Every structure is written in structure tokens, then in C-alpha cells.
Amino acid sequence: MDDFYALLGVSRQASADEIKRAYRQLARELHPDANPDDAEAHERFKEITAAYETLSDPERRQRYDTFGAAGARGSGPDAGAFFGGGGLGDIFEAFFGDATAGRRGPSGPPRGADAEAVLDLAFEEAVFGAERELTLRLPVTCGTCAGSGAAEGSKPITCEECGGSGEVRRVRQSILGQMVTSGPCGRCGGNGSIVDRPCADCRGDGRRTEERVEAVTVPAGVAHGQTLRSSGRGAAGSRGGQPGDLYLHVRVRPHDRFERDGVDLHAELRVSFTQAALGTHVDFETLDGSEEVAVAPGTQTGAIVRLRGRGVPHVGGRSRGDLHVHIVVETPTKLTPAQEELLRTLAKERNEPVDDASAAGLLGRIRSAFS
């Protein structure tokens, strides 16, 4: 079948990304490793690979669109040459997304494991940052052998199996030709060296598990649920391997007055109804100290006074969020006779109907009788 577009299941107007996605999906289904005993799948895999090789190259695709499959092969390799030649890397880059790139080269001693810990912070510590100390129990470099794993007077010997790389490569034959795979050396465990006389304190591992105190700098503005990464402060690697990283999961205790929303803070300010009606200035305790809040005359419950720059700092930045002060107007529940009379006078002046004193008194007596 010479219709390359039909082989990949795409239209002739398909973009390069669409062609690549279609090929990847088919390649996963038809790859010889996934269908070891299916000759038809093997043949189809060859066909879609040849189609992809042509359509993924703009020049070859143009020749194919103009002259067909024969024209596309005219100045490029045919399917047989493609599978046996230099195009093999392109196949696997398309199929695996070049996942093998990060594994090239010697691996040496294995990297230490990452460590995790919970970092409990007070609300103010999360807002303004803090210096904390954590006690962790982790593998650390052995002080006796300095991490080599070898006893005093000896040293590790380079592994003959991997030549000190810690990695071995194996070649096997497949329908695609020679396949090269790599993995940790089984003889030295990926360390690249062998210890004949192990250190008595670490038994040849080059590290010991101990408690250690880590000083941690908490940046201003961290939030509950975030994770901080500290590079190279995890478990030590065996025999001189690079240490892992330390991940700190932040847990912030709630505040009794402030709530956080991103970099903004919210709090309530309770004022009397006379203060709200006539206006006032109230000293309000922010996280930065006392600050005067102006309550305008006629303020209603739910009004918000914004104090700029009194919120949470942006992590790594200089600016801060705002503090939103939510006004709550309180209605008095217990009045002296003089206060009640003043309010009745006010209600009369504003022409606002209220229960008269006798009705209110009668109602109170009825409630008292049944309570």
C-alpha cells in the first residue's frame, strides 16, 4: 500500500504534529516487541515507519505529494535501507520521545534517595519567612572512610565488568537489526568500583544513617500545602554518589483573626451602630502592628476597607498583597432606659416606626411568664 497518508490515518492536509501523533499511536500498537509472533504486525510496522519517514521530512513529503512513493524514494533511502541504516535513531526519537537521551554516558555511583519532611509553621512565619531547624534521620557520608566504603589503607578497585562507568550495554538482534540497551552493572551495583576490604563502620556502603540538624530558611510568602525543595540535602549517595534532594511539605497553622487568600489577607472589624452611622477612626492590629482604620459615616455591614501592602509577600518578590478589613456593624442587645429613650427619639426624628415602650414591656413580661 503506497498511500502514506492512509497508512497513518491522516488527511493530506495534516500538520507535522498530527502526523507525528498518528505515527506514535500506531507504532505503540504495532511495534515488534509488542507483537513478537505477529508477522502481519511486523510488516505494517515497516510500512507506517516508511510512511512517517517520508511525511515527516518536508522535502520528501513535497516530492511524495508530487510524484508519489517512487518519487519520494528517488533521493532518499527505501524501507530496507532505512531499517538498516542511520535513520534508526529518528524512529526511536519519534516513538519514545528521545527518552533515552538522559541515560547516555557513564552513570557512576548511584544518587542518594530524596528525603521528605513536614514543616510546621505559624501563620506569621509563613507570611514573613523564618529560620527553622529540623532534626532528620538520614544516610550521611561515612566519616571513617570519607564515603569510599573502603577500610583504612585500602581503596575501591575499578570494576572490570563496566570499566568504572557503573553501566553495561548489551546488544541483541531484532527485526529492526541490532538493538543496544544499557543498565546498571550487576557486578558493582552501578557504583563503578568494587570494595575488597569494606570499612567496618559503614560495611562498604560509604554512608551511615544518623540524626542531623538541618537549618532551613523559609522564604516569606509560602502557603499551606506548598512543597519546598532543597537541592543536595537528602540522603547521601553510596560510595560518593551525589546526595538526593530534601522536600519540605509546608503545613501552616490557622490564625485566630486573619484568613489568607493567595497574597491577600482578610479580617473583621466590629464597630457599634453609632460608630458606623457617625463615622470613626479605629486602631486595628495588623500583622505589621497597629494601624488606624477610617470608618466612613453611614458604613454598613459588609463594607470593606483595604489596607494596601499589608498582605502576604510574593515569594521571591518585593511586593505584597493587601489586607481587606470587613466591617461588621453590631446592634446593641441591652439598653439602659436613657439609651432606649434616645433611640426612640432618633426613630421619631427619622419617622421610623418602632414598637412602643408599653408593647415591648408587655411582650417581655409574656416571654418571662413562659420561660
For 144-181, the pLDDT digits (tens) are 999 888 898 888 888 888 887 888 887 777 666 667 77
- 95 CB neighbour count, 10 Å cutoff: 16
Residue 115 DSSP label: E
Among 91, 81, 80, which residue's Cα sits nearest to residue 31? 91
Q: What pLDDT score does 183 carry? A: 79
The answer to whether residue 358 scores a pLDDT higher than 90 is: no
The answer to whether residue 364 scores a pLDDT higher than 70 is: no
Averaged pLDDT for residues 235-251: 91
Q: What pLDDT score does 91 carry? A: 39
- 102 CB neighbour count, 10 Å cutoff: 7
Q: Which residue has the higher pLDDT, 56 or 181?
A: 56
Q: How many CA atoms lie within 13 A of 12 on its CB side?
A: 6
**Whole-angstrom Cα distance, residue 234 to residue 288?**
35
Among 185, 220, 192, 187, which residue's Cα sits nearest to residue 206? 192
Among 243, 211, 216, 244, which residue's Cα sits nearest to residue 228? 216
Write the single-letter amino acid at 5. Y
**Whole-angstrom Cα distance, residue 81 to residue 83?**
6
Predicted confidence (pLDDT) per residue in 270-301, tens digit: 999 999 999 999 999 999 999 999 999 999 99
Write the single-letter amino acid at 296. A
- DSSP code string of 99-114: TTGGG-S---SPPPPP
Q: How many CA atoms lie within 13 A of 208 on its CB side?
A: 13
Predicted confidence (pLDDT) per residue in 322-336, tens digit: 999 999 999 988 899
Question: Is this model's pTM higher than 0.95 or not?
Answer: no
Among 359, 362, 295, which residue's Cα sits nearest to residue 327? 295
- DSSP code string of 290-320: EEEEEE-TT--TT-EEEETT-SPBPTTSS-B
Q: Which residue has the higher pLDDT, 64 or 9?
A: 9
Q: What pLDDT score does 83 carry? A: 35
